[in-house]
A and B are shown apart, each in its own frame.
Chain A
Amino acid sequence: MKLTGAELIVQLLERQGIRTVAGIPGGANLPLYHALAESGLRHILVRHEQGGGFIAQGMARATGRAAVCFATSGPGATNLLTAIADAKLDSIPVIGITGQVPASLIGTDAFQEVDTYGLTIPITKHNYLVKDAAELVQVIPEAFRVALSGRPGPVVIDVPKDVQKAAVEIDALPEPGAADPAPRPDPASLRRAAEMISAAKRPVVYAGGGVISADASGLLRELVARCDLPVTATLMALGALPADDPRFLGMLGMHGSMATNAIVDKADLLIVCGARFDDRATGKVEAFAPNAAVIHIDVDSAELGKIRSLGERDAAVSGDVGVALTALLALAPAAKRTQWWKEIDAVKAAHPETPPEDPMHPWSLIRSIGAMAPLDAIVTTDVGQHQMWAAQAYPVRYPRSFLTSGGLGTMGFGLPAAIGAALARPECTVIALVGDGSLLMNVQELATLAEIGLNIKVFVFDNGQLGLVRQQQELFYQERYVASRFERRPDLAAIARGFGIEACPLASFDAAVVEQALLTDGPVLVNMAVSETENVFPMVPPGAANVQAIIRAPKDRAGRRS
């Protein structure tokens, strides 16, 4: 059969099971858009390519399947970069297909030419510049295989306009690309890990995003039940265990609870599942679980020993977390750790949680929303204070139901990621918890949302500040509040209505308003006026050990201000 490169791309995407792509057309990818007309693919026209990248991320994070976004050359590609870099740091399988100027013009500073290949080398798992339309038959399936295999990650395919237009004769379309078989850990390392779990007196599981991406949450729940193990999670692993599981200790690290960090500090064994000792989780690395031996399970062997070196008393388990947990379930004897749980309860009693009383405190608002939300709701967040309060307070029940920008920490993630999640899981209510600063970074996607009318509830924590910046200036920069306050605050509810989204302000807490928003069909925005000066605590000062977290501002301790 004879096809153009563009038609070939579209057909190969359909064969990969792609139903929806997000993007923006422009000069260099118009042949691709021309081919869309005759395809079954649904295209979501975003208002900025970064929004398209995050919609693809939302689809991928909510399902674990690879998702696709399109951008044109030059500014289209550069606008996409942040979403691609974000996917790299959180290991999300996103495939970006960018138009490029015709091959004959590459290198001439042609109109809307930028070196997309060069720009995307450091922020992708792999990237391609397609020189010949016939290569697409191999490149597209391979891109999916790369994105999904082992540790997932983003792939960018840059396709010059003439390659999109070129006609190719092919005999048959290739098989869709799929993930390689999950890498199996060395049995000896697993036997050793099982012995270490059995011998440990104070073991703690430190679960990371790898548990979610390996779809191994169920296996983790089984193992921790069998071996009676306490579990802490990184931001990326929230949902691996239900928030109300008695063995779940909550999030660790910079904004983890005092008790959780203290328990990790006491551990004699750390069972690290798909986590990478990120600095926000570990605090000062030398002081992190200083007495613990480590079992480090990761599908990316380069993570083993990268931050925490593994010695004689540790175990490096290189392979798929799910395969490893299945093996450990068979190898590790059932246990009851009464003494350790007594110690844990004592630590918890020594560091009691004191929830804020004010119902308009963001922590309280998040608890209220969580209590009223459908059980299968998917939550997205933006980045900043509200994100940390959400991590602390939202009752995350299932894997892939708490979508947040962890590694890159990209403000503007929440709204477009919610659109992606709602496209991929239309049966679920999607709740976007966003800050006013973050919302404004991709506010244009309200137009996209209004157009497609998804079941998304946007709750804005409007404090008129870059709150986490303000907090650091208060705590660590002598209260010099430089450029962290918005001198002029827009009316976000009016803005939403201007885009055609139903919206209401919330100045004082009213459960009926929250409930009404959750029950209304279609998109709704609730703009919640919250304190301008509230801080997220506990907080581990940058460079300090997790056990040195502070729970109030120093000036409050001195009694200068209550």
Chain B
Amino acid sequence: MYIPNTIIELLVDNHAGVMSHITGLFSRRGFNLEAILCAPVNGGETSRMYLLVNRDGRLEQIVRQLEKLRDVRSVTVRDDYDHTVFARIEDLITSGAG
């Protein structure tokens, strides 16, 4: 069954361990996480993260659980983004492997 994806955009505190908090939340609660893109912003004080996730009935629960994490400053579901950035990364990875 095809499950459409959507993107969750996060602004998080940038320190070692934040990525573990985010990915740990997904594995612990059994949410699917298809892809992550993360880079520091604001001179390194914070990072912006893009999470490619399934757009299903659990999306709202994922957002609420993310909002509870101390290091997460904002959570936005970005229906207005297309997923080409992740597709381009996939291209990059496949070409690198080839």
Name A's B-contacting residues (CB within 8 A): 117-118, 121-122, 125-126, 129, 146, 300-302, 305-306
Measured CB to CB, the nearest residue on chain B to A115 is B20
Measured CB to CB, the nearest residue on chain B to A153 is B68
B21 lies within 8 A of A121 (CB): yes
**B65 interface contact, C-beta 8 A:** yes
B66 to A: closest C-beta gap in Å: 9
B69 to A: closest C-beta gap in Å: 8
With beta carbons under 8 angstroms apart, the residue of A118, A126, A301, A305 that contacts B20 is: A118
B17 to A: closest C-beta gap in Å: 6
With beta carbons under 8 angstroms apart, the residue of A122, A129, A305 that contacts B28 is: A122
B70 lies within 8 A of A306 (CB): no
With beta carbons under 8 angstroms apart, the residue of B17, B21, B28, B61 that contacts A302 is: B61
Given the complex of chains A and B, what is the CA–CA distance between A122 and B24 in angstroms?
7
With beta carbons under 8 angstroms apart, the residue of A125, A129, A146, A306 that contacts B17 is: A129
Most buried by B among A122, A125, A301, A302: A302
Known contacts A122-B24, A122-B28; is-contact A117 B64 (Cβ 8 Å): no
B24 lies within 8 A of A302 (CB): no
B1 to A: closest C-beta gap in Å: 21
Measured CB to CB, the nearest residue on chain A to B24 is A121
Report the interface size for chain B: residues with CB under 8 A from the other chain. 14
Given the complex of chains A and B, what is the CA–CA distance between A121 and B21 in angstroms?
6
**B90 interface contact, C-beta 8 A:** no
B17 lies within 8 A of A126 (CB): no
Known: A126-B70, A146-B70. 4 other contacts (CB 8 A): A121-B24, A125-B70, A301-B64, A305-B60
Known contacts A302-B61, A305-B61; is-contact A121 B68 (Cβ 8 Å): no
Known contacts A117-B17, A129-B17; is-contact A300 B68 (Cβ 8 Å): yes
A148 to B: closest C-beta gap in Å: 14
Query: What residues of A have a CB within 8 angstroms of the CB of B68 in the complex?
Result: 300, 302
Given the complex of chains A and B, what is the CA–CA distance between A121 and B29 in angstroms?
13
Query: What residues of B have a CB within 8 angstroms of the CB of A300 in the complex?
Result: 68
Query: What residues of B have a CB within 8 angstroms of the CB of A121 in the complex?
Result: 17, 20-21, 24
Could you list some 15 contacts between A and B, CB below 8 A? A117-B17, A118-B20, A122-B28, A125-B70, A126-B69, A126-B70, A129-B16, A129-B17, A301-B64, A301-B67, A302-B64, A302-B65, A302-B67, A305-B60, A305-B61
Measured CB to CB, the nearest residue on chain A to B61 is A306
Given the complex of chains A and B, what is the CA–CA distance between A121 and B70 in angstroms?
11
Query: What residues of B have a CB within 8 angstroms of the CB of A146 in the complex?
Result: 70
Query: What residues of A have a CB within 8 angstroms of the CB of B60 in the complex?
Result: 305
Given the complex of chains A and B, what is the CA–CA distance between A126 and B68 in angstroms?
10
Interface bits B41-73 vs A (CB < 8 Å: 1, else 0)? 000000000000000000011001101111000
